[in-house]
A and B are shown apart, each in its own frame.
Chain A
Amino acid sequence: MEEQIIGRVKRVNGPVIEAEGITNGMMMELVRVSEARLIGEIIKLSGACAIIQVYEDTTGVAPGNIIYGSGMPLSVELGPGLIGTIYDGIQRPLERLAEISGTTIQRGIQAPPLSRDHQWDFIPALKTGDFVTPGTILGRVQESERIEHRVLCPPDVLGEIISIVDSGAYTVDETIATIKTSSGNHNLTMMHRWPIRKPRPVTDRIPLRIPLITGQRVIDTLFPLAKGGTVAIPGGFGTGKTMTQHAIAKWCDADIIVYIGCGERGNEMTDVLNEFPKLIDPRTGSSLMERTLLIANTSNMPVSAREASIYTGATLAEYYRDQGYHVAVMADSTSRWAEALRELSGRMEEMPAEEGFPAYLPTRIAEFYERAGYMQNLNGTEGSVSLIGAVSPPGGDFSEPVTQHTKRFVRCFWGLDRQLANARHYPAISWLDSYSEYLDEVSPWWSTRAGDSWARNRKRIMELLQREVKLQQVVKLVGPDALPDSQRFIIEVCSLFKNAFLQQNAFDKNDCYSTIEKQLRMMDIILLYADMGETAIRRGVTLVNLRRIKVLQDIVKMKLTVANDDIAQLDRLEARLIRSIEKL
């Protein structure tokens, strides 16, 4: 990359720098500030002046320091070697940085995001004379045990292959093919660069129709997310946003997980780094780290890199989508990203809108969530990016701007409830505030697997839960004894449903995720109890007797005792339940 001097520092105020004497600056250009070569980006141009946001600590930067331009926007490197790596917000590989500068992140240090030494076994898919268009698969590399990396023609190259290498080991910066284009010959390597703020092009969007199975019962059964969909998880501190995100990252059926730790705790990223390699993906039998990319910009790392980390993550996700994979992006937390926007906006002395946030906040949120989707890629494959964004509303108040604007642009909402979290009911997803607009889209998929029982059961239990809320209000006023047994039984069923089904222990080997078969059967049993109990009460059986049946204890614990591959046990449980109630 060619560097040239484009100006000098005029004023330093935190991560925002005013520059003067700008001769050849470009909006969103990547620049380096002072002799420490701090990475920055031009965010405003005005005459010979420019505003630069710097992605590192600016201590020591003084007026008069030189600014070096790179002539290109802030970009990420895309190629084999991304999987299993942990990057910071501007794609610096943190493990390499630790080798260079030890336990702390020194300023101005750099390392290429993709290792230049590692040799990958490249198998070409095309031959000389073939015509390539943007996105064409040039060849394949086995990137991790389970991910086959498809080396793509960059989205801006089109022409005829005049030479392509044979199968063999190459590094990411060795030429693997030469393309004759209208603007001359173009050498391609296994990697290319792409600006983070520009969505990668696709042929078309495809309607969503497949659910993203997360193994979390409350999500899959009550509030499903579609592959290519968007969801927000808002919740005050301690309500389990991160735990929910971790659980989904571990067990959902996406091919690739991009986990963005945006302005959160350092120890949480360490936890992921420790835990994921040890966990085995139930679908493939390989380690979960084999499908995971991590982006860590913890709360004490520079605030502007936090702003960039969201886009870095989205770009990496789109790159794997272009290879025909289903990618799930976890952004934890988008509120920290919005706050980074606010902080930078404040330093630039922009006019604030709500609560100090800049007026362009909703636009930025919309732009981010629109990068999700189920796509027909340029090369004809299909892939999806699902975005799962945690939101940390101040004081747990969902009426604040970030939650409200996010709600406008997502179609699924898993609201976390403080009271559930206080009772250690996890995942604390509230069944009253949450919703999913993907129900109709994913219903056909469920029908092909379970007939109409999924949609029917879901509707039935949601009705029961709604009725329970009303009944609880009465109970709060006059006590439960005032209600007839038939109504108290509804409360009883809902309490069973909450304990036995909705609540899920993320640390139990059987309960940490449930297959859809297990979920369907569990639901059947609970609703069977509801139906049979209702008839029994009409027959004159008292609630006390109904509650006393022994098998209920086993139903509450079925999530823990019945393994995912042994759901035949549930049939026996069901038979026992029928016998017990009939005996009454």
Chain B
Amino acid sequence: MTNPNTLNLLDKELLEGREYIGVHEIDGPIIIIKNTHPVGYRELVECIDTNGHTRLGMVLDTSSTAVAVQVFEGTSGLTLPGTHMRFRGKPLTVSVTEAMLGRVFNGLGQPIDGGPPPAALVSRDVNGLPVNPTAREYPRDFIQTGISVIDAMNTLIRGQKLPIFSGNGLPHNQLAAQIARQATLRGENTEFAVVFAAMGIKHDIARYFIDSFESSGVLDKVALFLSLADAPSIERIITPRTALTLAEHLAYECGKHVLVIMTDISNYCESLREISTIRGEIPSRKGYPGYLYSDLAELYERSGMIKGCPGSITQLPILTMPNDDISHPIPDLTGYITEGQIVFDRDMNSRSIYPPVAGLPSLSRLMKDGIGEGMTRVDHPHLASQLFASYSYVKDVRNLASVIGEEELTALDKQYMEFGEEFERRFVNQRSDENRDIEESLTIAWECLSLLPAEELTRLTEDELDEYYGR
């Protein structure tokens, strides 16, 4: 790529080696330095503290008088006169290789498992470049997760970005680990490589995922990028980008199918808000910066499939909704970018239904093209639609029952109550190590629907009812 700087090459080389001693201001993770040579926007910066340790940073704002740099490893311990700065004249890159699978890294891609840095031949800009919409391949391959409520009603498609909207104390980690263990493509023996990006989560949660990958014997197919709760919050900004850069390399250059699990997006957004506040930017909703949507889109849109590439990136971001509020900016903006969402319901969890997937607000947008004849089963699309319609009516009936009492319900409504109970207990509920194939899931769904009179099932065709109803 041509360098946009007007300086000629020789000058550039000289300036790259130039080291500035002393900075003007340090505010949180941001350093202001004055009187530099012209520094490019988003250029990589090395910041050397008094102990000679190098921290990486990036230029956030540049002008002829001052440059603002955000330091990914935090600024604690830095002094104004004792900090040395070096501008590298290129954006932040990360070295990526297939050998990174099976290893553990920090948010910047440096190994933290005690091993040597993997020998990488290619280095990529962590920000990536927008994919040309004409080069995308429309995702339509059904992934069987072995979880009924996902497979039958909110189907995951290879190349999709499907977040889990959860809350504190809900079993989103179990579900994500279960999907990572069980995800397969029907009729194919491809395994997923897993890229795991942890942002601001606790040690024991990271441990849980590692153990879960270990016990199912897939740890050598997993690359972990950990920026845990005790790491500087600013590191979380770069963690998902590093992870996605590796995922893109694995998918589009090594031809692998990659499953990216990112947790917890809420922590990522909080770091973003922190930086924005320190920079004195005008906030939009709840203090989050106005560019939160664009910024999240930069992450989520790095999934999918490319024409002519065998690989794919499927994203499974996890976010905890603050106060279980789905209209909070983080889940709200995420829902506008991702291709559906799996929403957890606290009430179902307290009735010990696992996974506690709320039937109605959950959605998979890519489902329509990945199910039905030749992909899952011919009755699947209508069956899914019928389940949503009937379950939605169950919710109405339950509301009514809570006012007038169950005894007062009509006979039909009582049948709906029974269906709702059966649907949640048998269809949604399953063990966290239970792997149901799609036929089994659909069969259970039909058994539940058979509790309702056939004329209530208006979304199914006569043929489908003849074949499956009441069997």
Closest residue on chain B to residue A477 by CB atoms? B403
B21 proximal to A (CB < 8 A): no
Q: Which of A237, A476, A478, A507 has the most CB of B within 10 A?
A: A237
Chain A residue numbers with a CB within 8 Å of B19 are: none
Q: How far is the CB of A239 from chain B (nearest CB, A)?
A: 10
B293 proximal to A (CB < 8 A): yes
Chain A residue numbers with a CB within 8 Å of B41 are: 12-14, 58-62
B455 proximal to A (CB < 8 A): yes
Interface string of B26-53 (1 = CB under 8 A from A): 0000000000001111110000000000
B201 proximal to A (CB < 8 A): no
A277 proximal to B (CB < 8 A): no
B62 near A34 with CB under 8 A, answer no
Name A66-107 residues within 8 Å CB distance of B: 66, 86, 94-95, 97-98, 101-107
B332 near A339 with CB under 8 A, answer no
Q: A94-B133, A265-B301 are in contact. Are A65 and B458 (CB under 8 A)?
A: no
Q: How far is the CB of B255 from chain A (nearest CB, A)?
A: 14
A395 near B294 with CB under 8 A, answer no
B3 proximal to A (CB < 8 A): yes
Chain B residue numbers with a CB within 8 Å of A35 are: 2-6
Chain B residue numbers with a CB within 8 Å of A273 are: 133-134
Interface string of A352-392 (1 = CB under 8 A from B): 10011000000000000000000000000000000000001
Name B114-160 residues within 8 Å CB distance of A: 125, 127-139, 159
Which of B63, B329, B368, B400 makes the CB contact (< 8 A) with A507? B368
B80 proximal to A (CB < 8 A): no
Q: A35-B2, A479-B408 are in contact. Are A424 and B40 (CB under 8 A)?
A: no
B284 near A355 with CB under 8 A, answer yes
Q: A238-B361, A479-B408, A479-B409 are in contact. Are A66 and B132 (CB under 8 A)?
A: no
Chain B residue numbers with a CB within 8 Å of A58 are: 41-42
A118 proximal to B (CB < 8 A): no
A423 near B360 with CB under 8 A, answer yes
Q: A35-B4, A300-B130, A394-B285 are in contact. Are A266 and B301 (CB under 8 A)?
A: yes
Give Cα distance in the complex from A261 to B284, angstroms.
23
Name B212-237 residues within 8 Å CB distance of A: none
Name B259-312 residues within 8 Å CB distance of A: 281-285, 289-291, 293-294, 297-298, 300-302, 304, 306-307, 309
A263 proximal to B (CB < 8 A): yes
B94 proximal to A (CB < 8 A): no
Chain B residue numbers with a CB within 8 Å of A355 are: 284-285
Which of A57, A301, A303, A507 makes the CB contact (< 8 A) with B291? A303
Closest residue on chain B to residue A358 by CB atoms? B282
Give Cα distance in the complex from A349 to B7, angstroms.
30
A396 proximal to B (CB < 8 A): yes
Chain A residue numbers with a CB within 8 Å of B175 are: none
Q: Which of A62, A236, A355 has the most CB of B within 10 A?
A: A62
Chain B residue numbers with a CB within 8 Å of A476 are: 399-400, 403
Please classify how large the interface on chain B is, using the bins under 10, 10 to 19, 20 to 34, 35 or more: 35 or more
Name B364-414 residues within 8 Å CB distance of A: 365-366, 368, 381, 385, 388-389, 392-393, 399-400, 403-404, 408-410
B258 proximal to A (CB < 8 A): no
Give Cα distance in the complex from A10 to B65, angstroms.
9
Chain B residue numbers with a CB within 8 Å of A60 are: 3-5, 40-43, 90-91
Which of B138, B326, B388 makes the CB contact (< 8 A) with A274? B138
How many residues of A are counted as interface, with CB atoms below 8 angstroms from the partner's CB atoms? 85
Give Cα distance in the complex from A557 to B281, angstroms.
56
Chain A residue numbers with a CB within 8 Å of B290 are: 339, 342-343, 346, 356
B352 proximal to A (CB < 8 A): no
A433 proximal to B (CB < 8 A): no
Q: How far is the CB of A464 from chain B (nearest CB, A)?
A: 20
Q: Which of B5, B133, B159, B392 has the most CB of A within 10 A?
A: B133
Flag the segment in B182-190, B333-341, B423-431 that touches A: B333-341
B133 near A86 with CB under 8 A, answer yes
Q: How far is the CB of B144 from chain A (nearest CB, A)?
A: 21
Give Cα distance in the complex from A108 to B129, angstroms.
12
Interface string of A252-274 (1 = CB under 8 A from B): 00000000010101110111011
B1 proximal to A (CB < 8 A): yes
Closest residue on chain B to residue A96 by CB atoms? B134
B209 proximal to A (CB < 8 A): no
Chain A residue numbers with a CB within 8 Å of B392 are: 419, 422-424
Q: How far is the CB of B32 from chain A (nearest CB, A)?
A: 13
Q: A106-B1, A395-B332 are in contact. Are A265 and B341 (CB under 8 A)?
A: no
Chain B residue numbers with a CB within 8 Å of A343 are: 290-291, 294
A238 near B63 with CB under 8 A, answer no
B363 proximal to A (CB < 8 A): yes
Chain B residue numbers with a CB within 8 Å of A57 are: 127, 129
Chain A residue numbers with a CB within 8 Å of B293 are: 263, 299, 336, 339
B110 proximal to A (CB < 8 A): no
A475 proximal to B (CB < 8 A): yes
Q: How far is the CB of B182 from chain A (nearest CB, A)?
A: 24
A556 proximal to B (CB < 8 A): yes
Which of A20, A105, A423 makes the CB contact (< 8 A) with B388? A423
Q: How far is the CB of B64 from chain A (nearest CB, A)?
A: 4
B191 proximal to A (CB < 8 A): no
B133 near A65 with CB under 8 A, answer no
Give Cα distance in the complex from A58 to B381, angstroms.
45
Give Cα distance in the complex from A237 to B329, angstroms.
12
B98 proximal to A (CB < 8 A): no
B301 near A62 with CB under 8 A, answer no
Give Cα distance in the complex from A97 to B388, angstroms.
42
A271 near B138 with CB under 8 A, answer yes
B341 near A238 with CB under 8 A, answer yes
A63 proximal to B (CB < 8 A): yes
Q: How far is the CB of A426 from chain B (nearest CB, A)?
A: 9
Closest residue on chain B to residue A273 by CB atoms? B134
B410 near A480 with CB under 8 A, answer yes
Give Cα distance in the complex from A501 to B423, angstroms.
28
Q: How far is the CB of B347 from chain A (nearest CB, A)?
A: 16
Which of B139, B302, B327, B335 makes the CB contact (< 8 A) with A238? B335
Give Cα distance in the complex from A398 to B61, angstroms.
36
Q: How far is the CB of B102 from chain A (nearest CB, A)?
A: 28
B344 proximal to A (CB < 8 A): no
Which of B127, B282, B304, B341 makes the CB contact (< 8 A) with A267? B304
A417 proximal to B (CB < 8 A): no
Give Cα distance in the complex from A265 to B304, angstroms.
11
B306 near A300 with CB under 8 A, answer no
B284 near A237 with CB under 8 A, answer no
Which of A12, A14, A105, A336 makes the CB contact (< 8 A) with B132? A105
B196 proximal to A (CB < 8 A): no
Give Cα distance in the complex from A3 to B11, angstroms.
26
Closest residue on chain B to residue A299 by CB atoms? B297
Chain B residue numbers with a CB within 8 Å of A12 are: 40-41, 61-63
B133 near A269 with CB under 8 A, answer yes
A528 proximal to B (CB < 8 A): no
Chain A residue numbers with a CB within 8 Å of B42 are: 58-60
Closest residue on chain B to residue A507 by CB atoms? B368
Q: How far is the CB of B452 from chain A (nearest CB, A)?
A: 15
B252 proximal to A (CB < 8 A): yes
Other than the given A103-B131, A424-B385, 16 more pairs (CB < 8 A) read: A11-B61, A12-B40, A18-B63, A34-B6, A35-B6, A59-B42, A60-B43, A61-B4, A64-B64, A86-B133, A265-B337, A270-B137, A271-B138, A298-B301, A300-B301, A395-B332
Interface residues of B (CB under 8 A from A): 1-7, 38-43, 61-64, 90-91, 125, 127-139, 159, 252, 281-285, 289-291, 293-294, 297-298, 300-302, 304, 306-307, 309, 326-329, 332-333, 335-337, 339-341, 360-361, 363, 365-366, 368, 381, 385, 388-389, 392-393, 399-400, 403-404, 408-410, 455, 458
Q: Which 6 A-B pairs have the closest CB atoms?
A: A395-B327, A299-B297, A11-B63, A237-B335, A423-B392, A300-B301
Q: List 8 A-B contacts (CB under 8 A).
A: A63-B64, A98-B132, A104-B131, A237-B336, A270-B133, A299-B301, A300-B301, A339-B293
